[in-house]
Chains A and B, each alone.
Chain A
Amino acid sequence: MRDKPQGTDLLTEARRTLIEKVLPTLSSETRFNTLMVLRAMDLAERELRASATDEKQIAEGLRQLVAFKTAKNNNALVQLSEGIRQGNFDSSENLYQWLQLMVTFKLKETNPS
């Protein structure tokens, strides 16, 4: 068992320190690099906090889409992509909704606003 604070909480505090205490002291060149570091930490933190429920829902949706068409390939995502290119999902509303679900999930981590 790990001790507290957890890694995600440490990341939050590290970001706060960088923003409040380090960033105001920096030149424009080092500021750019520090902003990138902050962005990376922010993203990693949100990734660590991501909802397992959302991920399960996406995986289940993928399983249904691929099983519905064919079960040739073990990798469902590869199989789905091949199926799209081959025309098995042309203008499919089901696929479109699943793609939106997946992108919305990823956007929560990369573009939460």
Chain B
Amino acid sequence: MIETASQREKLEAWLKQVASADKVEITAIKTLTGGAVQENWKLSCHIEGGTESGEQHYVLRCDAPSGISVSLSRSEEFKVLSTVHAVGVTVPEPLWLCDDLELLGRPFYIMRLVDGIALGPKIVKTLSLGGDREALGWKLGAELAKIHSIQPPVNGLEFLSIPDDHPSTRMIQQLQNQLDSLDTTHPVLEWGLRWAEYNLPQKNIITLVHQDYRTGNYLIDETGLNGILDWEFSGWGDPMSDIGWFCAECWRFSRPDLEAGGITTRQSFYKGYLKTSECSIDEQAVYFWEVIAHIRWAIITLQQANRHLSGAQLSLELALTGRLLPSIESQILNMTSPATWKTA
């Protein structure tokens, strides 16, 4: 994306302006792994003048060549990130947004670089990361509660639609539409969605929801949590949906026994949440959202595979993602046996 000297110069000139600096020199650019939907670049800069003066490290975040239709624009994501940063959620500090396509051909924003590891399988396996695991689970619960403390309306977030009906029925409809847009047929996912229609949770308050809050989307080091990432799916919804997503078995990697994201027990995570939250935890709703989490993840894997199959972005990683489906389908079936259908 930042391939030519001209693009680099344009970026330096723009950084100089937004940072109110006298001079900005980009000393290194490196692509960062981990963004299947977005691209992330590490920028190392030498800055003279202004509040950023010195050696600085930033992350430039932009759309991948082919995105997923339900994700927020970079401008919208930047506004959400700014909102949660303002209420004290542990996130990389959002700095500057650029909607001008003349600069790099795609909208992007800059945030301060946060160190740490985000790779889910590695985090789950490497017990030296994240400090005490029970404390990490507690902290992740508490951070989620802070996100859920934000309720509509919020100035600057008008682009997020407030659901008229229950977020669960809206989600089922969305997932059915997404399934219909694929050119393949998936009876297990249809079964799961039909189960969901029979097991709708009670109506809850509407809060800001991250919608991708899971192990793999936060940065940790040896001491603990450094930042919650990947806000592109956030919106207004049922707070229990984030708890279900975090605890869903598909996000526990090699530790299915540790129900809170493969990190710790569900109790530790819940304790942190309840200590900070005004919401109670509705276990039945969480179960519902865990089923939905697997269906949603299954559809994402199919969409990822389609990015490869359509030729939009040829990639072995995307292609292989499509073959994760059977294990997710198996988890859906395990949770939705005929005996669990509420009123059939």
Q: List 22 A-B contacts (CB under 8 A).
A: A36-B320, A40-B316, A40-B319, A43-B320, A77-B185, A80-B187, A81-B186, A81-B187, A81-B190, A85-B176, A90-B198, A90-B341, A90-B344, A91-B341, A92-B338, A95-B191, A96-B191, A96-B338, A103-B330, A107-B330, A109-B326, A110-B324
Number of interface residues of A (CB under 8 A): 31
Instruction: Say yes or no: A99-B326 contact (C-beta < 8 A), given A37-B316, A90-B341.
Output: no
Q: Evaluate contact between A91 and B190: CB separation under 8 angstroms.
A: no
| 0/1 string, A47-63, CB within 8 A of B gives 1 | 00000000000000000
Q: Is B329 an interface residue (CB 8 A)?
A: yes
Interface residue ranges, B against A (CB under 8 Å): 176, 185-188, 190-191, 193-194, 198, 316-317, 319-320, 323-327, 329-330, 333, 337-338, 341, 344
B338 and chain A: residue at smallest CB distance: A91
Determine which residue in B337, B338, B341 has the highest number of CB atoms from chain A within 10 A of its CB, and name it: B338
Residues of A contacting B324 in the complex (Cβ-Cβ under 8 angstroms): 110
Residue on A nearest B326 in the bound complex, by CB: A106
Nearest A residue (CB) for B344: A91
B191 touches A99 (CB 8 A): yes
Chain B residues positioned under 8 Å from A111 (CB to CB) = 326-327
Closest-CB distance, A57 to chain B (whole angstroms): 16
Contact, CB under 8 Å: B337 / A96: yes
Interface hits, A74-89 → B, CB 8 Å: 75, 77-78, 80-81, 84-85, 87, 89
With a CB–CB cut-off of 8 A, which chain B residues contact A40? 316, 319-320
Q: Which one of A36, A87, A107 lies within 8 Å of B194 (CB-CB)? A: A87
